[in-house]
Structure 1
Amino acid sequence: MSNLQTARRGSYAGAFAGLMLRDLRVLRRELGPFIVRIIMQPLLFLFVFTYVLPHIGQANTIGGADFATVLLPGLMAVAIMFSGISAVALPLSQEFGITREIDDRVMSPLPVPFVAIEKVCFSALQSTLAALLVMPLAIYIPTNPVHVHVASWPMLAATLLLSSLVAGALGLTIGANVKPQQIGLVFSIVVVPITFLGCVYYPWAALTRVRWLQLAVLVNPIVYMSEGLRAALTPNVPHMYSGVILLALLISLLVLGWIGIRGFLRRVIS
């Protein structure tokens, strides 16, 4: 029995790795469009708010910190979120379509839930890459230098990992529970609002004067992504406690992952 279980686990690991390699091959062919899609929004925000405005005399500071320094972790969080959702939700909307391309993946020698988990893990790789691509832009574009200092490498690694997985889990939740023709509507009424209310352009502590909003945004996972990256990269900017950030990201991952896998199984079985 032990040998049978070992062989089965080896088969599962091989199938999981095969799906990852297949997705990596597809990403390699589409690397150019992927990079353009990821850097376009951060590039425009950095150019307008940290280059153009200071040059026309509209310098911005928040809590004594230059706006570019405050903005960098938030833009990295946005890149993570949009990359994670795009890498899972949009392909799923096609695979669950008329052609039922998802059936090819489900036929692999792997338990069905792990097919969904593979999508989340692969999207996490893309999200991490997207976040790292934002950093060079923030170094060379702003007029005023961005004050970045890695206060804790373990915090940075944990935040990037959990944030990327949460973004993928949210993409799985959207892709598995929303009809393909409604994906665009979800981006308009869900993704865009949680981005603007995700403490991307300001630290969470700055919302003290709007107490009801400060409490309301605590259900938004992007808040903890932005705050976690501030804690790791710009420790001089006010931020939440690291333990609270990591716990909230972990809870978000478990909740969104459960909802996403449940919806995935329902769509596949039907």
Structure 2
Amino acid sequence: MLAAFWHTFRRDIMVTGREFMPFLMQVVVQPLCLLFIFGKVMPSVGATQQLYPAFFLPGVVGLNIALVGVQSVTISLMLDLSSNREIDDRLLAPLPISLVALEKVVFAAVRSLVAGGLAFPLAYLILGSGYQVRTDALLPMFGVMILGALCSGALGLVIGTLLPADKIYLLFTLIFSATLYTGCVYFSWASLSSMLPLQIVTLFNPLTYISEGLRYTMIPLQHGQAYVTLPIGWVLLGLIGSFALFLFIGLRAFHKRVIS
């Protein structure tokens, strides 16, 4: 089973290598635009504070991880589960059905980590002196990124199995929009204390935990004080709980879709 899992995983890596330029555009264009507008242009014209790029960068990294993970699994499953039933080729491998689905989640997590990692050199090139990242919390930062990547891949499994291919427009118009604007990308969770209903709503968005976890580990100390974020314990609990919930729902839905 391990050999079959590895070869299936390696096949997906080879396919990504052959489609390297489309993948690069997918993971680079959005953070490039966001960092340039919100990290360079707006502070330069006085629309935001000069410290905003350091505060905004974790949200960009988290957003890139979340969107790439969801897209990687969702679009792949919609194609595999279409009328051509390309998923049947994978089901013929000597693997339990759950591992076939889990391989897609793991592969999407790897793509997400690559996407999140590429945001750092982009930020360094665009922000210049505004690029500020802590170097004393790299292991916790990597841990949050890995959990966030797995969580986004599991969410993609849920969406890809429950959302029909002819409703893919909902993925971009409703799901991504709701995720983007309630995921604490542009603002911190603590700053919503005066808007309690919205603050509660953001807790149901896994992107909130990715963004806040990365802020906790990335924003430099100010006068020896850490930036106020959602407590890291709640961040880890939210990510682990979301991953477990999405994976459970996704595996059950995947079984129902592929077994006739």
Q: Which TM-score bucket, shorter chain as reference?
A: over 0.9
- AA in 1 matched with 2:82: G
Mapped contact 1:221–1:249 kept (Cα < 8 A): yes
Per-residue CA distance 1:177-207 (angstroms, 9 max, x = gap): 1101112213211222111110001111111
Q: How does 1:56-135 map to 2 (within 5 A)?
A: 57-61=45-49, 66-135=51-120
- 232-241 or 174-183, which deviates more: 232-241
Alpha carbon RMSD of aligned pairs, Å? 1.3
CA drift of 1:143 comes to 6.0
Q: Which runs of 5 or more residues in structure 2 are unaligned? A: 222-226
The answer to whether structure 1 residue 202 and structure 2 residue 202 are counterparts is no
SS at match of 2:185: coil
- AA in 2 matched with 1:198: G
The answer to whether structure 1 residue 42 and structure 2 residue 31 are counterparts is yes
Mapped contact 1:46–1:141 kept (Cα < 8 A): yes
Using the size of structure 1 for normalisation, the TM-score is 0.91
CA drift of 1:67 comes to 1.2
1:24 equivalent among 13, 18, 24 = 13
Mapped contact 2:39–2:53 kept (Cα < 8 A): yes
- Structure 2 Cα separation of the partners of residues 89 and 111 of structure 1: 20
Mapped contact 1:116–1:264 kept (Cα < 8 A): yes
- Structure 2 Cα separation of the partners of residues 124 and 92 of structure 1: 15
Residue of structure 2 equivalent to 1:247: 237
Residue of structure 2 equivalent to 1:51: 40
Mapped contact 1:50–1:144 kept (Cα < 8 A): no
Per-residue CA distance 1:135-177 (angstroms, 9 max, x = gap): 1111121265122113423311210111000010011000011
Mapped contact 1:87–1:123 kept (Cα < 8 A): yes
Residue of structure 1 equivalent to 2:148: 163
Residue of structure 2 equivalent to 1:14: 3
- Structure 2 Cα separation of the partners of residues 133 and 16 of structure 1: 27
Aligned residues: 255
**Larger radius of gyration between Structure 1 and Structure 2:** 1
- AA in 1 matched with 2:116: A
CA drift of 1:43 comes to 0.8
- Structure 1 Cα separation of the partners of residues 136 and 209 of structure 2: 17
Identity of aligned residues (%): 36
Using the size of structure 2 for normalisation, the TM-score is 0.94
- Structure 1 Cα separation of the partners of residues 138 and 39 of structure 2: 26
Mapped contact 2:161–2:257 kept (Cα < 8 A): yes
- Structure 2 Cα separation of the partners of residues 176 and 67 of structure 1: 38
Stretches (4+) displaced over 4 A = none
- Structure 1 Cα separation of the partners of residues 99 and 138 of structure 2: 30
The answer to whether structure 1 residue 172 and structure 2 residue 157 are counterparts is yes
Mapped contact 1:51–1:143 kept (Cα < 8 A): no
CA drift of 1:238 comes to 2.0
SS at match of 2:203: helix
CA drift of 1:100 comes to 0.3
- AA in 2 matched with 1:253: F
